[in-house]
Every structure is written in C-alpha cells, then in structure tokens.
Structure 1
C-alpha cells in the first residue's frame, strides 16, 4: 500500500513538474495582464519556479523511495540505514537507485549553480566597481557617479552600502531636470526593491537548466517586469510624458554606443541573451506607457496570489501529507 501511495505521489509530482516546465510558463509569457500588475506577475513567476523545481526533485525522490517504506519519512529512515549502516536493500532495484541519484544530483546541481552564479556576479561587480573608481567622478546626487561618455547611459550597481547609480555626461547633457529625476527614481527603485536578487535567482535557474522553457521564459519576463516596477515608481514623482521621453532618449543611445567602451566590457548585471536585449525591453516599456491599461482589480491580484500559494502548496502537500 505504501509503495502504491509513493508511486502515485511520484506520478502526480511529475505531472505538475511537466505542467510548470512548459505550458504554464508559455501561457504566462504570452499573457498581457502581467504588464498591468507586474508585482503580482513577479510573485507568480517565482512560485512557478520554486514549485517546478520541488516537483521535479520530489517526483524522482518518491519514485526511488517507493519500495522502502509506507511513506516519505519511513522510506527516508530506511534509506539512511541502507547508506550508513549497511541495512538490507530488499526491493530496491536499479531504476529506484537511478531515481534517487538523479534527485540528489539535480538538487546539488541547482544549489551549486546558485552559489556559482552569485560568486561570478559578485566578482564582475567588484571589478566593475574598481573601474568606476578610476573612470568616474561624484555627482551632485548622493550615491551617484558620472562617467565621461557621450552616450546617454544610466544604470545601477548593487552592493549594499556601496550601491551606486551611474550616469554619463551624455545623459546629463541630454535630459531636462524632470527627465533626469525620472531616471534617478527608476534606478534607485531597482536598488531599494533589491531587484538584483531576483535577477540572480532567475539567472542561476537558467544557467542550471538552460534547456527548460520555464527558465528562459522566466528570465526574459522577469527582466521586463522589474523595469516596469521601476517605471511605476518613477510615475509617482513625474508625469507620464516625462517618463516616456526619458526612456526613449536613454534607450536610443545606450544599446548602440555604450557597449564599445572599456567599462561596458564588464557585465553590468546578469548576462542577457539576445531575446533579453535592452531594445526589446525598452519597446515593451514604451508600449505599456503609450497604451496604458488599468491595473488588475483587487480580486484579480488576489486570484494571482492565491494561485501562487496553491502552486507552492501542491508539491509540499503531496510530499508531506502521505507522511502524516
């Protein structure tokens, strides 16, 4: 009976993993409503990622443990006795060992990639910060520096207390005071809301599972959503036409000119693929502002949050309830 229960749990988790690996992210990436409420969409993307990873590992784990006990806890207890105390391996076949090994390897791979991505990004940002010390000068605004370049450049470099917003001479000459205010608010919002942590997590996810549709679509969508979240913050301090002009002016020059400078050879954040280009994101941001639509209703946002909680609860319940 226990074997049947764990086997059925494994199949249920596998079905959920497949759902969250392909149809769900494809549908969400093509939906229009995330632009109306980017914060709710961001939560849903995180839920899809966490639930999908837990379902993949959980399905292989339960398949492998099926012959070892009546539930997850008893099966894990027996597995520990087998591994560390040479207990008998009755009923544990080749495919069960394979499933257990795959679950362990996948879990270790995800954690290792997360740590490796963090170290790589930290190293890149450290080098970038050293270059800024040599090539920039302080700006009038606190926590802001200016680099000498004709292209309109604006970005933020996270680093806790050492976080800094970087502007170029070309940007300062091109933008009016209100437009500059919009740009600074946008960049400071990235730092205040810790958007770099989201980028780190989704970049690691894509590095770990580059073949998975979820990881590619999620990173592309999250890159776009965090820009829209920062735009919403800017709209609270400037008028919409001002923000539109600032986005258009900055986007027109950054992609074509800045990437030839020595400073730009250091990755500003997480590496982006062609479909994650600044040009594509700029176009989406402008389209959202030029053709505004009302945000989701309270009921709509509540439904998205409820769905996110359900996605996280489903694999957890499938793993834990049979053990009770």
Structure 2
C-alpha cells in the first residue's frame, strides 16, 4: 500500500484545489446542469475518500498489501493475535498517527453531516411553526402558503408536515397568472428533485472544511446548478420571456425580504456571502435564459457521467487492489 497512499494523497490534492477551480469556471456546465451536478458529487466523494484513504493506507502499510488485509492485520493486533509476520513488531508512532488522523477525519465529516442535518431540520421546523401562524393556504394552488408581506418572495420548504411552496402577497400582486405558474413550477421542481438533500450535503462539506476554498466553490456551484435545473423544468410549460420576468420580479425582493417575520430555512442560511452568491447566481441564470445556448450533446454528457464514475472508481481501486505495496 506504499504507492497507493501516495497516489491517493496526490488525487486528494488535485480534487481539493485545481479540479474544482477549473470546473467552477467551466462554461459547459450551464448547458448540462445535471451532468455537472453528478460530476461535482463525484469530486466531493472521491476527494473525501482520497483524503481518508491516503492516511488509512499509510497507517496500515506494515499490516497488509491492501486495505482489507491491513484491516485484518489491525484487528488481529488489537485483540493480541497478529495476523502474520508483518504485525510482529506492531505499528510505529508515524503509522499510529496516520491511522488516528484518518479516524478523526472520518468522525469529523460524519458528525458534521449529522449536525448540519439536525440544525437545518430544527430551522425548518421552527420556520414551519411560524408559517402556520403567519400564512394562509392559497385558494388556487395546492400545497402553497401565502404570507402577508409586500415584498416579492417565493421559496419552497421541504420536510415537516409535507413540502410546501411559500409565496408573498406582494409577489401575487406583481405577477401575471402565467408568471405565477412559472414560479410555482420552478419551486416544485426543487421539491420533486430533492435539491434540499444535495444542498445539505454540500453545506455540511463546507462546514466541516471551511479552510478549504473549494468547499465554498462547490456549494455555490451546486446551488446555482439546482436553480438552472428548476428553470429548465419551468421552461417545459412556460415561455422563456415569462420565466425571465418572473425571476427578475422575485430577485427584486430577495429571500431576505421575509427575514423580519420568518427565520432563514435553507442549507446556506447564515453563511458569509450568501446574499452576494445568490445575486451572482440570479445574474448567471438570467444571462443563460436571455442568451440560450444549445444543450451539451448527449455524447458529451455521457462522457461527463462516465468521467464521474471513473473518478469514484480510482480511490476505490487504490484502496482494495493488491500488489500496490511497492
């Protein structure tokens, strides 16, 4: 596993900095948002697996030729039954440190994901309780609540007693029926495609590794791509001009417009620069709709998905393949 640990470390560095930076600047992602989302998820998963795997394989190197053999050797060492000659002298402090670091990083990532889930769930429950007091059901749209607020506000709230779309009276006064339908379709696409789970995972990644600049890049890129997917869903039933006007009206109010009455409920709520990132995302979405580009060819999208699968397979193979002890 000697060479495997170095290869995993190199892959972790590539996926932690240059690869996400290049992807965040790529222009093709707006033409294939679903494929780009798959690639971002593969980068995050492969990056985390490579970071943990590099330390794990380095620590287990004296105990076996691959991860499984090393873990068996470690188990035998812990219970006082060495699995072979390599375990006769135990582990030196350097390898113990590597194993400890791998364990701590794994626990940190899992614990942060759990805490992020609990925090967002608590925020949404509190938000839903306030909505029950401050909103009324829409007379024309099912699973839609209306809050009494003059600013144009539209968002979706998953979970709880059931997913709902929230609109403000100010928005209803400004939008035509066609524009309102476009907004509702957009928000319901978020709920149907469960974008909240994807955003939660990347919010947890940013919280767990705030010192990693690419965790912020990834969260912003994924948030923008989910908005583009919802826009594409709305274009299935609305004219492009109608959707553009609706987005512009909603953007003029912003999500913070309802902050005086309701707490933020999204995964990015409270993060530094969230308002600026949302403004930039809206500008990119409007530019994409105003100057539409053809979707990336099916062959190109298939190559992206294949690349994502290969990216995930590399650390997996390096972890379990024998003969890499060097």
Match of 2:97 in 1: 98
In structure 2, C-alpha distance between the alignment counterparts of 1:211 and 1:294, rounded to whole Å: 37
In structure 1, C-alpha distance between the alignment counterparts of 2:106 and 2:323, rounded to whole Å: 21
Match of 2:243 in 1: 243
Structure 1 residue 66 corresponds to structure 2 residue 61: yes
1:159, distance to aligned residue in structure 2 (A): 0.8
Structure 1 residue 42 corresponds to structure 2 residue 37: yes
Correspondence list, 1:75-90, <5 A: 75-85=70-80, 87=82, 90=89
1:3-35: CA deviations, max 9, x gaps? Answer: xxx110000000111110000000000111111
RMSD: 1.7
In structure 2, C-alpha distance between the alignment counterparts of 1:199 and 1:252, rounded to whole Å: 23
- 212-221 vs 236-245, which moves further: 212-221
1:26-70: CA deviations, max 9, x gaps? Answer: 000011111111000000000000000000101100100111123
CA pair 323-181 structure 1, distance change in 2 beyond 3 A:
farther
1:291, distance to aligned residue in structure 2 (A): 1.3
In the superposition, the TM-score normalised over structure 1's length comes to 0.94
User: Is 1:251–1:278's contact at 8 Å kept on the other side of the alignment?
Assistant: no
CA pair 119-285 structure 1, distance change in 2 beyond 3 A:
same
Q: Which has the higher helix share?
A: 1
In the superposition, the TM-score normalised over structure 2's length comes to 0.93
Which secondary structure state, in structure 2, belongs to the residue aligned with residue 146 of structure 1?
strand
Regions of 4+ moved over 4 Å = 86-89
1:220-276: CA deviations, max 9, x gaps? Answer: 1001000000000000000000000000011012256333x121x343443243156
Correspondence list, 1:203-222, <5 A: 203-222=203-222
Count of equivalent residues = 317
CA pair 93-218 structure 1, distance change in 2 beyond 3 A:
same
1:178-204: CA deviations, max 9, x gaps? Answer: 000000000000000000000110001
Match of 1:185 in 2: 185
Match of 1:127 in 2: 126
Equivalent of 1:27, from 22, 30, 47?
A: 22
User: Is 2:120–2:266's contact at 8 Å kept on the other side of the alignment?
Assistant: no
1:51-91: CA deviations, max 9, x gaps? Answer: 00000101100100111123322221111122233756615
User: Is 1:73–1:323's contact at 8 Å kept on the other side of the alignment?
Assistant: no
Which secondary structure state, in structure 2, belongs to the residue aligned with residue 294 of structure 1?
coil
**Unpaired runs of 5+ in structure 2?**
none
